[in-house]
Chain A
């Protein structure tokens, strides 16, 4: 059946979803909040992400072939399930707009300063909506190759920057107590580990069988993501030290410091490519999730593509209108409101449904 995924493809999609824009964007604000304990925040948040995955897989195996809204309807009733679906949809629309806005801001600030950011937003959403129209099976296959190229360039970047590392920058840790660590964990749980909940909508695209180790593959994707995030965060701290938290688009800035025998220089172009491609992939997955959530709320077939365009247009206009209240307001939304939004609209509904499932009999498997 077309548009089904294999467990490996699902794991790749999860890795792309988690790593997507976080590998470039996370280090700077995380280091700003947690200072040298940033890598510890990542470990804490990744553990929470694994717990979320555990809940999702438990529910997915208990209700095979059903997405979050479908089994929520069985557990807590259709009206409340639809309400939770609406909450998830608002979160997904925000995520899609924010990710694309991030790409546009990056291009506008780093590479093409004279081009209006709205042009980037429109073109990216155009590409994203055309990508999701072909179906998840096709773009999941494509994303595997793209994320491989991204990760190769990231590893290349981290490796070539080693001559510029100062290992003394790793200390001190916990110089201001535990609160910076908690702040960093709050931030990075919101982006990207708390977003794992959204994968409860995409798991039905995989035919789960006993012994297929889907859960382990997804856990491996989370752990691999955590390893890469820790590496890029450490690379940023080791390169910039006390000012690491102020260098936006950290990997891009680290790449700018690389100059080896006048041959290896201007490598920031590779990081620019990585940022754009990785964020495009994540935006595609998010808009795809938004579309299937909307079609599920409306009771339409999951292959329905009629609402992709208006949804993409709505996300485009939201993304364009982000800047009308100023950059400080946008930073506040991304760093402080986003984790809370995800907690209330994604994590808490999952916890609620999981809690109710403890008191219900396991449905008979046909």
Chain B
């Protein structure tokens, strides 16, 4: 059901953007970012589905902020 809904929404909005928002005539920068965002979405969907074992958005956040957040927590809540 989830994939069906995503597919319907994707087709509907892509069609709307191409015809109403004139995506076809947009600058190269817009088209590039549009494709990058769609690819990032596909990447995260692959991780969710289990086809790809890689770092997700929140895995990166954990990697960057996790250590410092744990230290702050250890100071503020010494009981654990």
Task: Please give the residue numbers on chain A whose beta carbons come within 8 Å of chain B beta carbons, in ascending order.
Answer: 33, 93-94, 97, 116, 118-119, 122-123, 126, 129, 179-180, 182-183, 186, 294, 298-300, 304-307, 309-311, 313-314, 316-318, 320-322, 324-325, 329, 332-333, 336-337, 340-341, 344
Does A310 lie within 8 Å of B41, measured CB to CB? yes
- As a 0/1 sequence over residues 5 to 40 of chain B, the CB contacts with chain A under 8 angstroms (1 = contact) are 110011001101100011100110110011001101
Q: Which residues of A contact B13 (CB under 8 A)?
A: 129, 309, 313
Q: State A329–B76 Cα separation when bound (angstroms).
A: 19
Query: How many whole Å from B41's CB to the nearest CB in chain A?
Result: 5
Q: State A344–B61 Cα separation when bound (angstroms).
A: 12
Does A183 lie within 8 Å of B41, measured CB to CB? no
Q: Which of A300, A314, A322 contacts B41 (CB 8 A)?
A: A314
Q: Which residues of A contact B27 (CB under 8 A)?
A: 300
Q: State A147–B70 Cα separation when bound (angstroms).
A: 36
Q: Which of B44-80 contact A (CB under 8 A)?
A: 44-45, 47-48, 56-59, 61-62, 65-66, 68-70, 72-73, 75-78
Query: How many whole Å from A233's CB to the nearest CB in chain B?
Result: 19
Q: Which of B1, B65, B70, B76 contacts A182 (CB 8 A)?
A: B76
- Of chain B, the residue at the smallest CB distance from A183 is B76
Q: Which residues of B contact A94 (CB under 8 A)?
A: 57-58, 61
6 further contact pairs, Cβ within 8 A, besides A299-B29, A321-B57, A336-B72: A179-B77, A300-B27, A305-B21, A314-B41, A314-B44, A332-B66
Does A318 lie within 8 Å of B57, measured CB to CB? yes
Q: Which residues of A contact B40 (CB under 8 A)?
A: 314, 317
Task: Please give the residue numbers on chain B whose beta carbons come within 8 Å of chain A beta carbons, in ascending order.
Answer: 1-2, 5-6, 9-10, 13-14, 16-17, 21-23, 26-27, 29-30, 33-34, 37-38, 40-41, 44-45, 47-48, 56-59, 61-62, 65-66, 68-70, 72-73, 75-78
Q: State A310–B38 Cα separation when bound (angstroms).
A: 6
Q: Which residues of B contact A307 (CB under 8 A)?
A: 30, 33-34, 37
Q: A314-B41, A321-B44 are in contact. Are A337 and B5 (CB under 8 A)?
A: no
Q: State A305–B26 Cα separation when bound (angstroms).
A: 11
Does B30 lie within 8 Å of A300, measured CB to CB? yes
Q: State A324–B46 Cα separation when bound (angstroms).
A: 12
Q: Which residues of B contact A116 (CB under 8 A)?
A: 1-2
- Of chain A, the residue at the smallest CB distance from B61 is A337
Q: State A127–B78 Cα separation when bound (angstroms).
A: 43
Q: Which of A119, A314, A344 contacts B5 (CB 8 A)?
A: A119
Q: State A182–B72 Cα separation when bound (angstroms).
A: 11
Does B48 lie within 8 Å of A321, measured CB to CB? yes
Does B76 lie within 8 Å of A186, measured CB to CB? yes
Q: A310-B34, A325-B58 are in contact. Are A298 and B29 (CB under 8 A)?
A: yes
Q: Which residues of A contact B26 (CB under 8 A)?
A: 306
Does A321 lie within 8 Å of B17, measured CB to CB? no
Does A306 lie within 8 Å of B30, measured CB to CB? yes
Does B33 lie within 8 Å of A337, measured CB to CB? no
Q: State A123–B27 Cα separation when bound (angstroms).
A: 30
Does B77 lie within 8 Å of A183, measured CB to CB? yes
Q: A309-B13, A320-B48, A333-B58 are in contact. Are A298 and B72 (CB under 8 A)?
A: no
Q: Which residues of A contact B68 (CB under 8 A)?
A: 340
6 closest Cβ pairs, A-B complex: A310-B37, A183-B76, A309-B13, A336-B69, A118-B2, A321-B48
Q: List 18 A-B contacts (CB under 8 A).
A: A116-B2, A118-B1, A119-B1, A123-B5, A126-B9, A183-B76, A304-B30, A309-B17, A310-B34, A313-B6, A318-B58, A320-B45, A321-B45, A321-B58, A322-B58, A324-B47, A325-B59, A333-B62
Q: A317-B44, A321-B44, A321-B47 are in contact. Are A186 and B72 (CB under 8 A)?
A: yes
Q: State A313–B41 Cα separation when bound (angstroms).
A: 7
Q: State A186–B76 Cα separation when bound (angstroms).
A: 9
From A93, A307, A321, A322, residue with most partner B Cβ within 10 Å: A321
Query: How many whole Å from A201's CB to the nearest CB in chain B?
Result: 18
